[in-house]
Structure 1
Amino acid sequence: MRQFAERAALSAALSLSFLGLGTTAAAADTSSSLPISSYRDIAVDAAHQQVFLSDPFGDSVLVTDYTGQVIKQISGADGAWGFALSSDSRTLYVALRDAGAIAAIDTVTLQETARYDTGTGAGAYAGPTSLALAGGRIWFGYSLDTWRGALGSLDLSGAQPVVTRGQGLDTFRGSPRLAATPQDPNTLVAAESDGNAAAVAVYDVSTGQADTQAKRVDPGPDGCASLQDVALTPDGRQIVVACAAAHYHQVLRTADLADDGIYTTNWSPTAVAVAPDSTIAAGVYGPSWPDVQLFTQGNSTAYTAWDFPEPSDYANTTLVSGGLAWAPDGSRIFAVTETSGSSSLTLQVLNHPQVATTVTVQAPASSPRNQNLTLTGKLEAPVGFGAGSTVDIWRIDGPMAGEGTLIGSATVAADGTFNYTDQPKAKGDVQYTVQYYGDARHAYAYGSVTVNITSD
C-alpha cells in the first residue's frame, strides 16, 4: 500500500496549501505585454491552444499562445470588435464595425477566408460589434443610429449567405452585447447600457427570428447602470451581469429575468466568464480588492481569488471591460489588464489551482461472501466534476494481502456520487479503498471502508 501512503501525503500537502489559499489573492502565473493599445473581446481556441484578442482601433486581431506569446497579428480587420468561435474551432468570426461586415478567419492558417456584408452600414453608430452563435446562425448586435440598437443574423447554411436585420427593435439604445451557450442552442441573450440603466432581453431564435421571451430594464436588487459584461451559464438557466455601478455581480433567471442571486465581489464589476462546468470568474475594476474571484454556481462566496501586481506606487493594474475568458478545459483563465496612465495592455494567465477534494465511502458493516456487496460514495470539492470522471476501486483481503488488488472503476455522476458492486470471496475483514487521481482542477483524494465478510 506504499502508493496509498505516498499519495495521501501528497494529498495532505495539497489540501493544506489550497485550503490555506481560500480567498487570499494570488498572483498571475504568466504575464505578457501585448502589442495592441485597444481591446474589446477575447476568444479561446482549445483545439489549437490559441487566444484571440480584438484590436478595434488598430484594425487587427491579435493571436497568442496559452502563455501570452504572440503568434500573429492579423491586419486589415477594420474595427475588429466582437468574436464568435465555431463549435469545431475551425473558424473565428469577427464583427468588423468599421467595415459593416463579419469576417471569417481560418484558425489554422490565421488568414481571412470570407467577409460577409451585414448591410448595416459601417462605423461607430452602424456596424456590428457583438457576435454569438445560436439557432444555427451567427447573431450580431449593431446600432441603427446614435440612439437605437438592434439584432441581426447571418445564415450560412444555404448556398448563399442570408442576412436578416431589424430584430429586437425598441429595446436597446445602442449596440447590444450578446451571449449564448451550446447546451441551450436556441436561446440568445442580449444586453445593453449606454451608461444609464441597462436593458436585458432573452430570445428564442429557433425559427430564425428573435422571439422575445423576457425583457427587463435596470435589473438586479440595486439596478444595473453601466453594464460592462454579460454571460450565460452552460445550462442556459442563469444570466450573470457585470454592472459598474453595482457592488456585486448580479444573477438573473433566464426564463423571466427575475433576480436569482448575487456573487459577492465589490464595487465596479467589469467582467464575467463562465467555465463549461459552471464555475464563475468575476472581475472588478479597482486596486483595493481582489481583481478576479472564482465562485461555484449558486454560492455567493468566492473560493479563490487573484490580485494583479501593481507596477508602482503611482500606477495601477486593472481589469478591462469584458476582459475575462476561460480555457474550455477549465485549467486556466485569461485576463486582459491595462496600466493606469498609459495605453499598455497585458494578458494575464491565471492557472486554476487544484482544489482540495474528499472521497467518502459507505458499505454494510458485514456481508456474506460470494454475494453482491455494493459500495456507495461521493466526491466533494468546491468545483464540480466533469463528465467522464472515474474512481478506482482497490480491495485488500485481510492483513496479509499486501498492497491490494485493483478490482475495477466507477463512473462519477454530476453530483459527485458513485457506486460499485463486488463479490468478495475471502472471509474476514476486507478493506476497500477508492482512489480519485485528480485532474487539472481537483487534487488527488482517497477514502476507505472495511467490511467483515462472513460465511455464505
Structure 2
Amino acid sequence: MAVDAAHQQVFLSDPFGGSVLVTDYSGQVVKQIGGEAGAWGMALSSDSRTLYVALRDAGAIAAIDTATLQETARYDTGTGAGAYAGPTSLALAGGKIWFGYSTDAWNGALGSLDLSGAQPVVARGQGLDTFRGSPRLAATPQDPDTLVAAESDGNAATLAVYDVSTGQADVQAKRVDPGTDGCTSLQDLALTPDGARVVVACSSPYYHQAFRTADLADDGRYTTSHYPDAVAIAPDGTIAAGIDGASSPDVYLFTQDDSTAFKTWDFPASSPYATNTLQPAGLAWAPDGSRVFAVTEDSGSSSLTLQVLDLPQFATTVTVQAPASSPRNQDLTLTGKLQAPVGFGVGTTVDIWRLDDPTAGEGTLIGSATVAADGTFSYTDRPKAKGDVQYTVQYGGDARHTSAYGTVTVDITSD
C-alpha cells in the first residue's frame, strides 16, 4: 500500500492481477490501473506527484502520475523478470529509488535507480552476501540517508542498516536472527520518523520487536499476539501493529515508549465459521494520522477488503511555567509541554500570546515555539510593561489532537 495525502488516495498493488488499485479515503474504488505486470512494492515521491511501482514480472519500475493515474515512464532494472529476478520492494533514500530483487531462487540483493541526471542510472549487486531472497526495504524522509533492509528465509531473519549518502549502500550494522527470541518468517518492517528505530513483524515471537538502527541492538517490544504480520508508523511516531491471529485483536496502536496498546481493533467475519485476518504488510497510515488503512481477507468469501479505521481526536493539554516575577526589558523564558495519549508530529508548533493587562483585551500574538518530540517547548520574551503580564500558549489541534491552551501570569518589575 501507499497513501497519497495530496489527492486523498490509497494505492494497492495486485502482483498476481498485474494492476494497481486506487481507492479514495473511504475505500471506494477510483480506478484500476492495468498493465503493471507483477506490481509489488510501491513508494510515493516526496511531493506526492509520482507513485513508483516495482514490477517483478516485467523487471522494471513504473512511474505513475498520481493526478492522472496514468503510467508516465518505465525503467528497466536490468535484473531480469519473474519470481526469482524482478524487483519486489522500493524505498526512497539518498536521492535515489532503492529496490530489492532476487538474483536467483536462493539469493537477493539491493539495487538503485537514479533519476537526478539527464538519463536514468541503474546500479545493482549490493548486499549480495546478506540476503537469501528479495529483501524488504524501509526508509524515512527525516533521515534520508538511512536505508534498512530485511529478509527471511522462513527460519531466521536478517536485518541490515545502510548509509546511502554516497550513492552506495554502505553497511552500518547487520544482525541475523535478531531479538531475544529470534525472528522467524519476517513479514514486515517500518522505521520510526527519526530513523532511530526499526520495528519488525515476525511470525514468531508473538510480539512486535524494535531495534536501534545505530547498531541493531534490542530496543523494546510491543505486546501483540500470535503471528505478527504487519507494522506501520505514523509521522508522529504512533505505531500500528497487526497480527494474523483469529482469536485476538487484529490491530494494536502504541505510542513509541509504551509496550501496552492504547487502542485495538478486531475485524468481524462474514459468518460465525469464518475468520477475517489481516494480510502481511497490510497496514498503512494516512499522513495526517487521522486513520489507518488495513487489508483483510475473509475466509468465508476469500475476498480482500480495504478496511478504513478512523481515529478520534485525543484530548490534549498544555502546561506552561514561568518565573513568578521578572525584571522589565530582560529575557523571560516560558517553558511548557503538550500532552496527549498519542505523540505530536515533526513541525508541530504552539502560538504565544501576551496580554500586558490581564483585566482587558485578548492580547497580542508575539511568536510561536516548536514542539519537541517529547511535547516540550520554550519561548523567550522581553516584556516592556510593568505589572502583571499574562502569557497564553495556544495549540490549534490537528487530525489526532484537540485544540488546547494554557496560561501563566508573571509579575514584571522595574529594571
TM-score using structure 1 length: 0.84
Cα pair distance change 1:205/1:432, threshold 3 Å: closer
Alignment match of 1:360 (pick from 298, 301, 319): 319
Cα pair distance change 1:82/1:396, threshold 3 Å: same
Conservation of the 8 A alpha-carbon contact between 1:368 and 1:454: yes
Cα deviation for residue 166 of structure 1 reads 2.0
Identity %: 75
Cα deviation for residue 436 of structure 1 reads 2.4
Deviations 1:278-330 (A, max 9, x none): 22111112233222222222322222222223332112222110011112222
Map of 2:353 onto structure 1: 393
Map of 1:32 onto structure 2: none
Conservation of the 8 A alpha-carbon contact between 1:56 and 1:81: yes
**Aligned partner of residue 330 in structure 1, secondary structure:** coil
Deviations 1:323-353 (A, max 9, x none): 1111222222211111124331111122232
> Which AA in structure 2 matches 1:397?
D
The answer to whether the aligner puts 1:298 opposite 2:270 as a matched pair is no
Map of 1:421 onto structure 2: 381
Cα pair distance change 1:314/1:204, threshold 3 Å: same
Map of 1:412 onto structure 2: 370
The answer to whether the aligner puts 1:286 opposite 2:245 as a matched pair is yes
> Matched residues in 1 for 2:353 and 2:125: separation?
59
Alignment match of 1:113 (pick from 72, 94, 100): 72
Deviations 1:71-93 (A, max 9, x none): 11000111111111112222111
**Aligned partner of residue 116 in structure 1, secondary structure:** strand
Count of equivalent residues: 412
The answer to whether the aligner puts 1:232 opposite 2:191 as a matched pair is yes
> Which AA in structure 2 matches 1:412?
T
**Aligned partner of residue 129 in structure 2, secondary structure:** strand
What value does the CA root-mean-square deviation take over the aligned residues? 2.3
> Which AA in structure 2 matches 1:234?
P
Cα deviation for residue 150 of structure 1 reads 1.5
In terms of fraction of residues, the more helix-rich structure is: 1
Cα pair distance change 1:288/1:408, threshold 3 Å: farther
> Which AA in structure 2 matches 1:146?
A
Conservation of the 8 A alpha-carbon contact between 1:391 and 1:412: no
The answer to whether the aligner puts 1:86 opposite 2:41 as a matched pair is no
Q: Structure 2: any 5+ residue segments left out of the alignment?
A: none
Cα pair distance change 1:338/1:363, threshold 3 Å: same
> Matched residues in 1 for 2:265 and 2:354: separation?
38
Cα pair distance change 1:63/1:370, threshold 3 Å: same
The answer to whether the aligner puts 1:199 opposite 2:146 as a matched pair is no
Map of 1:130 onto structure 2: 89
Residues 181-200 of structure 1 mapped to structure 2, 5 A cutoff: 181-200=140-159
> Matched residues in 1 for 2:317 and 2:231: separation?
29
Deviations 1:361-386 (A, max 9, x none): 22333456777654432222233333
Conservation of the 8 A alpha-carbon contact between 1:154 and 1:164: yes
Q: Structure 1: any 5+ residue segments left out of the alignment?
A: 1-41
> Matched residues in 1 for 2:222 and 2:72: separation?
41
The answer to whether the aligner puts 1:258 opposite 2:196 as a matched pair is no
**Aligned partner of residue 98 in structure 1, secondary structure:** coil
> Matched residues in 1 for 2:332 and 2:108: separation?
63
- Stretch of structure 1 that moved more, 389-398 or 79-88: 389-398
Cα pair distance change 1:364/1:161, threshold 3 Å: closer
TM-score using structure 2 length: 0.91
Cα deviation for residue 154 of structure 1 reads 1.8
**Aligned partner of residue 170 in structure 1, secondary structure:** coil
Deviations 1:376-410 (A, max 9, x none): 32222233333142134363835xx3564345443
Cα deviation for residue 67 of structure 1 reads 1.2
> Matched residues in 2 for 1:275 and 1:78: separation?
30
Map of 1:146 onto structure 2: 105
> Matched residues in 2 for 1:153 and 1:363: separation?
52
Cα deviation for residue 219 of structure 1 reads 0.6
Conservation of the 8 A alpha-carbon contact between 2:352 and 2:391: no
Conservation of the 8 A alpha-carbon contact between 1:198 and 1:219: yes
**Aligned partner of residue 134 in structure 2, secondary structure:** coil
> Matched residues in 1 for 2:365 and 2:166: separation?
51
Cα deviation for residue 432 of structure 1 reads 4.3
